[in-house]
Amino acid sequence: MFTLAEVASLNDIQPTYRILKPWWDVFMDYLAVVMLMVAIFAGTMQLTKDQVVCLPVLQSTVNSKAQPSASGKADFTTVETTTGQGEEASTRTVSCGSAPTVTPDVPLSRATSSQYQPPESGQELKKEQRDSLGRKTNLDFQQYVFINQMCYHLALPWYSKYFPYLVLIHTIILIVSSNFWFKYPKTCSKIEHFVSILGKCFESPWTTKALSETACEDSEENKQRLTGAQSLPKYVSTSSDEGSPSASTPMITKSGFKFSADKPMIEVPSVTILDKKDGEQAKALFEKVRKFRAHVEDSDLIYKLYVGQTVIKTVKFIFILCYTANFVNTISFEHICNPKVEHLIGYTQFECTHNMAYMLKKLLISYISLICVYGFICLYTLFWLFRIPLKEYSFEKVREESSFSDIPDVKNDFAFLLHMVDQYDQLYSKRFGVFLSEVSENKLREISLNHEWTFEKLRQHVSRNAQDKQELHLFMLSGVPDAVFDLTDLDVLKLELIPEAKIPAKISQMTNLQELHLCHCPAKVEQTAFSFLRDHLRCLHVKFTDVAEIPAWVYLLKNLRELYLIGNLNSENNKMIGLESLRELRHLKILHVKSNLTKIPPNITDVAPHLTKLVIHNDGTKLVVLNSLKKMTNVAELELQNCELERIPHAIFSLSNLQELDLKSNSIRTIEEIISFQHLKRLTCLKLWHNKIVNIPSSITHIKNLESLYLSNNKLESLPAAVFSLQKLRCLDVSYNSIALIPVEIGLLQNLQHFHITGNKVDTLPKQLFKCVKLRTLSLGQNCITSIPDKVSQLLQLTHLELKGNCLDRLPATLGQCQLLRKSGLVVEDHLFDALPSEVKEVLNQDTSIPFANGI
């Protein structure tokens, strides 16, 4: 036997799930509990008190006067009962023709213990009637028990016997149907996660703060409306509304780029200040809500399961009501029983009473009433489920009541769960909506960020770069701290991996700021900030993955001098989106593009009239179209690196103002076109390093003004005499080739200051080399040189000498006569240096602060 508590536990759910149970589910749960009580009460009464009491039905005297037979005598049956030893009794029945007749006037004992005798005289019969006190059946106790049990199963309707168990089974089914969506594995995990997140969002201090600030803003706006103020209060941002262009700043239309500016905000005092722990918990909640939304919005399983279990309950109600109503009238107090055990009892018919009939009938009526109420609630639930689309949920009311106008609408199971919560308390969804708003999340990040990055902490991160400028590098923050804009003496600001960077109007107080780096940081600026950057910014570095990450305002900085773009700009994929706006950069001098171009964008020619330096660094993608270069006649420096060029492009020969050409890391094998460089009268520096050049043509002599020639990391085996006819040559780099001999003509280069021949196969040094008395740098490392001539002392201006990696036995003592050479500029093995005379080592170890010789 189970207790009521054990059965009621089937209807128990976790207390936290109650927020997902609307009033009809709660009411149906209570009805189910009452039906359980009815079932258990009826079952208990039936098990303890339910019984029937039966008495035999005696045949009337009318029936006892049977019609005489053909012989004028009535057939009769004699039932003789004899008693033997002990308590055993035997009954002998003799049949003579027809069925026996028992009259009520005959004593009951004679009907079973002796044979029927012919009726006696009327006087004796009357005497027996006067002596009898009732109608005796002469049945013993065991026979009564037997007939009562027989008639309980034969005479009672089945519903009277199984009513409590049916009620119990039906109620358990209804209970299971009501709470199945909380138990089903594929839905219970989502529900549990939702309830957990919802509870944390409801209790989060950030929710209270956000809604309180909204209330403060609303009250402030109402106050402004009531007082009829014509202007904004004291604390008003100077930025204009988003999407409203100013007279001084051109706006990008929606078809192109959209200029973003923050809306003016009325500053109100902060209601609460979040501590670090609360801020971290709120950040975690935003992330949990985002992931949960993405997971739950993909399906509508919870909605379908709830509809399914409601339909099952409705069908169950109709089924129970239909068959139960037919059995109400079958429950009665009196029953006629014909057990067909006359051979054991002696009677064919019994009249029985059911002592629980009235109680069961009342319980059945009560149960039907409860089922009817339960069914009407199920019908209402179905009406509610299909009256409105529950797979869509709108936060329109929350958006109207709060400043978070970006709260998105949700769908599918997420929407259905919020509809269910609204039936419990609409405040839950309102507070939950705060964690769906990006504006709310950005506010939280801003508060946490400013709390962590104070002015003192930022000042500690300021350093000086190679140009001796004050630089601040911020990496992977949630935003730009407000205290950054208080560093008024900052020269360079680097923002890297800050996706929500916003530059406010406060940047206008950073009067020294001239260089800005945006690395994967699509920063948004207020209009006042944009005006400041447009007028003061001189150098901008933008690193991006997709061209859409480039902020639209970058193309409007009219006073920008240097622009560095690093990212994917392949014309086949992006069609040069945005580069058409370069025409607004009227003062741009240097354009540096590191990308994967297949052709030089024709739109770069928009800045050709004032562009002096163009750098294109490819990632190995072959640059095949360079016709646009012909229009860039004012370019003085051109770098085409890692562009897989096989020859020198002819378009370069049209750049009459070209002074420096760098074709590093290409696939150039021959430079016969070098003769065309004679038209480039201003060309002074030619860098052909890291290619596959085999020889240098004699036509190089036509480049009369060449001062620097870089041919390192090629496949040269010799240096032609033509190279040494370039009288203005000051720097010659032929390192890492296969040169075995330095021609004696090198002595003709009287202006040579830097000579690099490291990593070759040179074994001897010609004496003419030391006639180049202006040499400052001489790199001879990683060769096969066996000795250094004493004439090295003639190089009085030598400051750097590399000899490491050769076959030297000793160093000449005349090294000490190189007045500017110091140990720090001498690259040689330690044992060779130690072998020098002490006075030479003393000279080389002198302080480098000694003034240089005259003429340096």
Which of 301, 302, 40 lies closest to 167 in space, CA to CA? 40
Asked whether residue 21 carries a pLDDT value surpassing 80, the answer given is yes
Handedness of CA 374, 377, 383, 388 (dihedral sign): negative
Give the angle 330-332-337 at the CA atoms, nearest 5°: 90
**556-602 confidence digits (pLDDT tens):** 898 999 999 998 876 554 444 445 567 788 889 999 999 888 888 77
Distances (CA, A) of 194 to 201, 286, 747: 10, 13, 85
Number of Cβ within 10 Å of residue 314's Cβ equals 18
Q: How far is residue 687's CA from residue 706's CA, in Å, rounded to a whole number? A: 11
Domain residue ranges in the chain: 4-57+155-186+310-387, 716-848
> What percentage of the chain carries pLDDT values higher than 70?
79
3-class SS letters over 147-187? HHHHHHHHCCCHHHHHHHHHHHHHHHHHHHHHHHHHHCHHH
Comparing 55 with 3, which gets the higher pLDDT?
55
Per-residue pLDDT of 278-329, as tens digits, reads 777 888 888 888 888 888 888 888 899 999 999 999 998 898 888 887 777 7
Q: Give Cβ neighbours of residue 510 (< 8 Å, ≥ 6 apart).
A: 485, 487, 488, 490, 493
Name the E strands within 720-775.
731-733, 754-756
Q: What is the pLDDT of residue 135?
A: 61
Structure tokens that stand for 460 in this block: 């500690």
Residue 777 pairs with which residues in a beta bridge? 754, 800
SS3 labels along 393-451: ECCHHHHHHCCCCCCCCEEHHHHHHHHHHHHHCHHHHHHHHHHHCHHHHHHHHHHHHHH
| C-alpha torsion sign, points 306, 308, 309, 315 | positive
For residue 600, report the phi and psi dihedrals to the nearest 5 degrees. -75, 125
Average pLDDT over residues 483-499: 92
- CATH code assigned to 716-848: 3.80.10.10
Summary mean pLDDT of the chain: 79
- Using CB atoms within 10 A of its CB, is residue 501 exposed (0-12), middle (13-18) or buried (19+)? buried
Q: State the DSSP code for 602.
A: G
Residue 136 has pLDDT above 70, yes or no: no
- Residue 14: how many other CB atoms lie within 10 Å: 11
In angstroms, how far apart are the furthest CA atoms of the chain? 179
Beta bridge partners of 557: none
Contact 515, 590 (CB under 8 A): no
| Level-2 CATH architecture, domain 4-57+155-186+310-387 | Up-down Bundle (1.20)
Looking at per-residue confidence, does 464 or 83 come out higher?
A: 464
Q: Find the Cα–Cα–Cα–Cα dihedral 851, 852, 855, 856, rounded to 10°.
A: -130
| Strand pairing category for 685-687 and 708-710 | parallel
- Decide which of 57 and 80 is more confident: 57
Pick the more confident residue, 774 or 179. Answer: 774
Cβ-Cβ contacts under 8 Å for 757 (sequence gap 6 or more): 734, 735, 739, 742, 779, 780, 783
Q: 284 in helix, strand or coil?
A: helix
Comparison of pLDDT for 211 and 769, the residue scoring more: 769
Q: Are 485 and 513 in contact (CB under 8 A)?
A: no
264-288 per-position pLDDT tens digit: 333 333 434 566 777 778 888 888 8
Measure the CA–CA gap between 55 and 352, rounded to whole angstroms: 6
Helix, strand, coil shares, percent, the chain, to 5: 45, 15, 40
Name the DSSP class of 754.
E
State the virtual CA torsion across 649, 655, 657, 661 in degrees, nearest 10.
-10
Question: How far apart are alpha carbons 648 and 652 in whole angstroms?
Answer: 8
24-28, 241-245, 792-796: range with highest mean pLDDT? 792-796
Res 714: pLDDT: 96
Instruction: Find the angle CA(831)-CA(833)-CA(839) to the nearest 5 degrees.
Output: 135
Tokens linked to 101:
């007749």
Asked whether 373 and 24 are in contact (CB, 8 A), the reply is no
pLDDT of residue 59: 65
Tell me the pLDDT tens digit for each residue of 191-216: 888 888 888 888 887 777 766 665 55
The predicted pLDDT at position 848 comes to: 54
Q: What is the DSSP string of 185-213?
A: HHHHHHHHHHHHHHHHHHH-HHHHHHHHH
For 608-654, write each residue's pLDDT tens digit. 788 999 999 998 888 887 888 888 888 999 999 999 999 999 889 88
Indicate the DSSP class of residue 55.
Answer: E
Supply the DSSP string of 616-659, one letter for each residue: EEESS----B-GGGGG-TT--EEEEESS--SS--GGGGG-TT--
